Structure 1
Amino acid sequence: MDRAQLQKLFQYSFSLTQEKASAEDLLQSSLEKFIKLDKAFDNPTAYIRRIIRNQFIDDCRRLKIISFEVLEEGAPALMEDRSLEDLQIQNDLIEYIFKQLATAEREVLYLWALMGYSATEIAKDTGQSRGTVLSRLHRIKQKVIASVQADEASAGGSAL
């Protein structure tokens, strides 16, 4: 495993924890688990990401710091996967929005926007249905639009 792969795994861990030290701990414990398996995998990075995700969920449940929301069957889905890319948002607004998202939404946003995964790939990687992923992307889009509109209103309607 090279440095670039480790950096991507750290970024993924950070997208879940939102704290550098916690992300480092999460990555380290996940790598330890992976090494102890002593097996060959077709895609070790994807397997480690799954270990990271599962470890994060276990930690959160143990500490009861995250709430999991049940998605409704008929929840609206995002029809166009690329619509968030059309929004031009300043770095500070991106950070603000990222902090407003639930952990599951941050995970989906990270995999979709930063890693370039499709909704189908995210669903397969996280073990969720494609509809769930699309629903989360739709909610993220709604939160981004609301944040941009609030920012424009507070700036007197000036463009970003």
Structure 2
Amino acid sequence: MKHRQAAASKAEYRTLDNRVTCLLAWPPHEISAWVQMLQGHQQQIACSILRRRHPRPTQLNLPAIGEEVPDPFQVNRPTVPVTSADGRLLTKVHAVPGLTPVVIDVDGTIRCVNTGRTLWIAPGSRIDRANPGASEQRNSLYKPSLHQVVADHRQHVDAVTR
């Protein structure tokens, strides 16, 4: 059966690209399970993104999707370095135009990759305990739709404690 090439809108592609960015640190079997939950056009876009961005896409056992979905943001996209919680460089990901790249620390605090500025303070974190009232002021200004999560270090803690 021949699949026709999907024309992804930039908004739809951006949404799936952000999700895939968060999933890249997951074990291959969990990524595969997530892809299997998607249907039709979304699954086709996600498979195309994963084939381009995952370091070992053959381990993911992705379904055959026909033609690859082109990346509407591919033209000279800048990259953002992704570091581990201890500061080691893990990889680089493509920055999504119009979104600020952020990392989520082990304790859940969200920081800007470019400036290091704290954008959201996790309730009960050491920053929250050291600066009473700061989370109420800062967290009300944070808008998740304007940020691209390039690394979520909370996942590494969960994987170790399982």
Same fold (TM over 0.5): no
Q: State TM-score, norm by structure 2.
A: 0.26
User: Which structure has more strand as a fraction of its residues?
Assistant: 2
Q: State TM-score, norm by structure 1.
A: 0.27
